Amino acid sequence: MLTAPAAQADGENFRDRAGDAPAVIDVLDVRVQNFQRVVVTARYDDLVDGRSGGWTVYVDTNKRRVGPEFGVSGGLSTGTDYSVYRVRHWKYLSGPRSCPLDMNVNYRRDTSTFTISRRCLDRPGSIRVAVVGGKSARDGSWIKDWAPRRHRFYDWVARG
């Protein structure tokens, strides 16, 4: 009997630099599972309900086009909304798409997870992602942590 390699069976894990943002939004690593559904999990240094701002996963589905085609955004506090948007040049093109999507925030594990239907992303093959966590500072400015870096993606993850 043949089995998939461990990395494919579990998805792909990517590291981010620690300590480059406030702990509540400091992304430490990102896990991408590209199977029947696309599942993206970010782990933070110290995720705290009510103080954590929001996060966006930018999803690149087209190797011929520069930048992401989709953005999946949500809050990092209990009861916040979350949505999928079409994106071009890292900016939203329209209002939220109506499609199957779920978000889970686990403060004990310091993680946030989006589970996205493939239909919602126009049924892609390989994908790559960038994650940004953000929160407002006391002066009203917005503090962000890009993983891996601003307007850069992790490696492509083949559909399993």
Q: Taking all residues of the chain, what is their mean pLDDT, rounded to a whole number?
A: 90
CB-based contacts of 130, cutoff 8 Å, min separation 6: 57, 58, 60, 68, 146, 147, 148, 151, 152, 153, 154
pLDDT tens string 81-101: 999 999 999 999 988 999 989
Mean pLDDT (whole number) for 19-34: 90
Confidence band, pLDDT 50/70/90 cuts, at residue 57: very high
Confidence band, pLDDT 50/70/90 cuts, at residue 68: very high
Residue type, 22: P
- Could you give the maximum distance between any two Cα atoms of the chain, in Å? 60
Per-residue three-class SS string for 67-88: CCCEEEEEECCCCCCEEEEEEE
Query: What is the predicted pLDDT for the residue at 10?
Result: 64
Confidence band, pLDDT 50/70/90 cuts, at residue 137: confident
Query: What is the predicted pLDDT for the residue at 128?
Result: 97
The domain ranges of the chain are 24-147
Confidence band, pLDDT 50/70/90 cuts, at residue 22: confident
Mean pLDDT (whole number) for 48-70: 91
3-state helix, strand, coil in the chain (%, to 5): 5, 45, 50
Q: What is the CATH number of domain 24-147?
A: 2.60.40.1190
Confidence band, pLDDT 50/70/90 cuts, at residue 3: very low
Residue 145 CA, distance from chain mean position: 12
Two tokens, residue 20: 């480059």
Judge whether residue 147 has pLDDT over 80.
Answer: yes
Q: Say which residue, 106 or 5, is predicted with more confidence.
A: 106
Report d(CA 104, CA 37) in Å as an integer. Answer: 15
Query: What does the DSSP 8-state code read for residue 122?
Result: T
Distances (CA, A) of 40 to 1, 139, 141, 148, 152: 29, 31, 27, 14, 16
Query: What is the predicted pLDDT for the residue at 4?
Result: 39
